Each structure stands twice: as C-alpha cells, then as structure tokens.
A = this chain, B = another copy of it.
C-alpha cells in the first residue's frame, strides 16, 4: 500500500464507480448517425489518461457519503469537458502528439477535432441536466467560460514579454485549475455537503490544478519523455510560462533581447533551446518555479483540513504530494 501511487489507490477505492463512469462515457460518446464521433472520441478517451479529474469528482462526493447516482454523471461530464478542450487545444496548438499517440487532428483533420469537441461539450451539458441540479450547471458552465477565457488570454498574452506572473496565474487558473476546482466542488454540491466544505473542496481543486499546471510547465524544460511531452515544446510554441517569466524578470539587456527574439518574434535558431535552458539554470528559474508548485500543493492540502476524516481525504492529500513529486 505504501508504495502504490495515490492516483492508483484512488482508482482502487473508486473502482466500481469508475467502471460506471467508463460505461456512461462509452454510451454517451456514441452517435447513431455519425460514426466519426465515437472514433475520434475513443482515440483520445481510451488512450489512457489517468481519469484524474473524474476521480476527483467521485472522491469529493463519496467523502460525504453520497452513493449516487449523479456523481457518475458529473464525473463523465468533467471527462467530456476535458476531452473537448484537448481536441480543441490540439487544433489551436497544431500539435502532433498527445499521450504518446498522434493527435486526432493529425489522424483525421482539424474539422473533426473542432466538431467532435463541440459534440462532447454539448453531451456534457446533457449529462449535467440529468442531475437536475441547477447549482451544478451553474458551476460547470462558469468553469467552461473560464476555461475558454484562459485559453484566449494565453493566445494573446503568452507571446509577450510584458506578461508577468499575475497574468500567468490567470491563464493557468483558466486553462487548468477551473476544471479541477469545478470537479471537486460539484462533487461536494451533488452530495449536499455543508457550504464550508464545498468551499474547501473548491479551494483544494483550484490549488491542485495550479500546482499541476506549474509542474507541467517546469517539466517542459526539465522532463523526460515519461510525460509524453518533448523538452522544449512550450519554447517552440513560444508560450511564455512561469520558468521563462522568472528568467526574463532577472535578465540583463542581452538576455532580454534573446527572449524577445525567440518568444516575441519567434525567430528561433539551432542552439537557442540550449541557451534558454542555460539561462533558466543561471537564474535558478526552474528551482523557483518548482518552489511555487510546492506552495500551491501545500495550499491544496491545507484546504482539506476541516473535511470529514475519511480515507479518501488522506488520498486527496497524497494526490497533492504526488502532483509535485514529478519535480521533487
């Protein structure tokens, strides 16, 4: 038990519910008339993501003794929204690889990725409607708007050296943390948890999501291909993430000119990534970014303190440690 990874423990504890979620997902991504839809969806959904977000929803509901059935619908909702955003992200980023496989936009085309994403998004709202909870609909429609807003903000702000840490945080809250927070919060809501606990689970999801994304951004300059990402993807896509923001803040004139050339102008030459890595190292930018990820993981854990004493609470705590373990 001590050596089992926390997301595997979560998956064991929630095994029967996860099986129901997977059945519901398979059922709802079907389309009688357009077989392209389940083909494209299955390519991504079956590719073996960890189902972290839907597990968070299930765990939040189970923490308050809720035993169904609507946490299943909500977990499927969260996975559908996540999958829809991945499909659209891959079009936006013109990505070629995701979870170690060619992306849908490459295997089919951008059109299919856009439209199947729209379909999954609509399907997710149908699932929410079935829960009969307007509050859940409110939470998840707000999260959906915040996600899209974060993505658009990233589009316009991330190639400018003027973008600082607060804008970065806003982007991350949108593109990643909003869905984590909605996942945990809506699980608590469907379980009729006390308001203070609902708020605590929102705070947990928000901080966990921020930590998760910061770690991802560190690994982009530090990772192995265990993450399914190549080192320097963000660099090549000219995304100004926290490590670079920290290095830019400490840059001298010559270094600033380098960042302006490679990020703002997108004029990248052989050796530039190595030079960027060297600058990050020289300014301890990866270490400092890593420290922020740890800080957010601590905030996530702190948020759990007032919640009912339950094995799932301990696992949620370990999940926060696990997220940052990748950069420890």
Contacts and interface: CB of A to CB of B under 8 A. Distances in A.
A162 to B, nearest CB: 14
B112 A110 contact: no
A318 to B, nearest CB: 32
B138 A129 contact: yes
B119 A121 contact: no
A184 interface: no
Contact of A118 (B34, B119, B126, B151): B151
A144 B80 CA distance: 15
A128 B137 CA distance: 9
A37 interface: yes
A123 B145 contact: yes
A207 to B, nearest CB: 20
Nearest to A141: B125
A291 to B, nearest CB: 26
Given A125-B125, A137-B137, A141-B122, A115 B156 contact: no
Contacts of A145: 119, 122-123, 126
Nearest to A135: B129
Contact of A112 (B36, B112, B123, B152): B152
A45 interface: no
B119 A92 contact: no
A119 B141 CA distance: 10
A210 to B, nearest CB: 16
A234 interface: no
Contact of A91 (B33, B114, B122, B126): B114
Interface in A178-192: none
Interface in A119-174: 119, 121-123, 125-126, 128-129, 132, 134, 137-138, 141-142, 144-145, 147-149, 151-153, 155-156, 170
Given A92-B114, A134-B132, A137-B125, A119 B34 contact: no
B153 A34 contact: yes
B37 A152 contact: yes
Contacts of A33: 149, 153, 170
A174 to B, nearest CB: 8
A123 B156 CA distance: 20
Contacts of A147: 118, 122
A85 B118 CA distance: 9
Contacts of A128: 141
A111 interface: yes
A123 to B, nearest CB: 6
Contacts of A31: 149, 152
A156 B36 CA distance: 7
A148 B118 contact: yes
A155 B36 contact: yes
Which of A33, A118, A156 has its CB near the most chain B CB atoms (within 10 A)?
A118
| Complex A-B, nearest 4 residue pairs according to Cβ-Cβ distance, in ascending order | A122-B144, A119-B148, A122-B145, A125-B141
Interface of A: 31, 33-37, 85, 88, 91-92, 110-112, 114-116, 118-119, 121-123, 125-126, 128-129, 132, 134, 137-138, 141-142, 144-145, 147-149, 151-153, 155-156, 170
